[in-house]
Structure 1
């Protein structure tokens, strides 16, 4: 069973009545419900709960896929926790980066860019086009997902070219955005998924929930060989008497 840890800042829901009306128990609880519905082993963690923002070494060692939602307190995530998550991704843990977590320390670390973009809050329609219909993350999704009220994110999105682009968004105000970006970093898989503003009920949409479950399946570590690095003994028989080296 795939083990999913849902991480959420959990600030807006406690500080804003408008957000609490949409996510009364926190965005993380709604996302946990999404993944539990997919049959995964799910735990939650939040910025202010427990040591290391809930992302201790033991928790991360017991996590196959980590989902990350943040907005107002990116800078409060301690660097040593970011280092720990980064190392786990390189080792093979999957990472789902959601909506405003494009500005999270961990995503910027993995991308090596500013991850900046245009934005506008006007409750406008978003049409999320499936541009890679054969990708596993698009399984069960129609040609597009239409969301009636969303926050606009617009290009240029300052990220590296995705290994695969699964979704591209169009907004009623005219902008477009690369909304479903897949990356490999080390042995880990990273998926950035744009929909999910805190004052709109995006995570209750059944198509969005299907994408999230598909993304967990895609990002979860496989059973392939573990690569080895460093000085290596020969596989075939060779003369190893020449040992000229400064190492």
Structure 2
């Protein structure tokens, strides 16, 4: 990307970056419109950046490790680089166990104190909007949903909506690339109160894909979940297809 920002920068952000900043979108887990700046900052813009700033501010009051907000102006969020790798690439003894330990800390937060709602009715409304606005990339579906339409996935989600939710504070996109070595959580724009399986389902999926069944077993042991509810695992994996 070089020295050209992908969007117009607010004055305070331009001042922070200096006269000749370097922008790059070539980085680990490149997703969510995140841009690396000068090798020391991460920048996002838009509604997702606003949502993440709100959640970072709240999580900091709860004592969990989160990235330092270097600047927030208009709808541009700038985070300081934490200086450590994510569990997708860090050399740790067990990525599965590390993910479980960080998740247990998050899921232990009191839901009464969390102002962000991510319960299933809220997520289905958002999913419908995603589908109606043409924002779902069906080409990016998991292999077991290949060839399906977003409309068909949404119809199944509505028909199979779980009757009970085991509510905790969830991350909402809990993958190895969103947990840094040491347990810091990043990419928090979907955080809110929801069924714990919203996180468990994605953790199991990505650990299996990236590291194999041994790390799935390590995650389950450290999270103290001996027999996962496969119906809810499948449901929340399917829900993630629309986001």
Higher helix share: 2
Structure label with greater radius of gyration: 1
Q: Determine which structure has the larger strand proportion and give its number.
A: 1
Indicate the structure whose relative CO is greater, using CA pairs within 8 Å and at least 6 residues apart.
2
TM-score under structure 1 length normalisation = 0.26
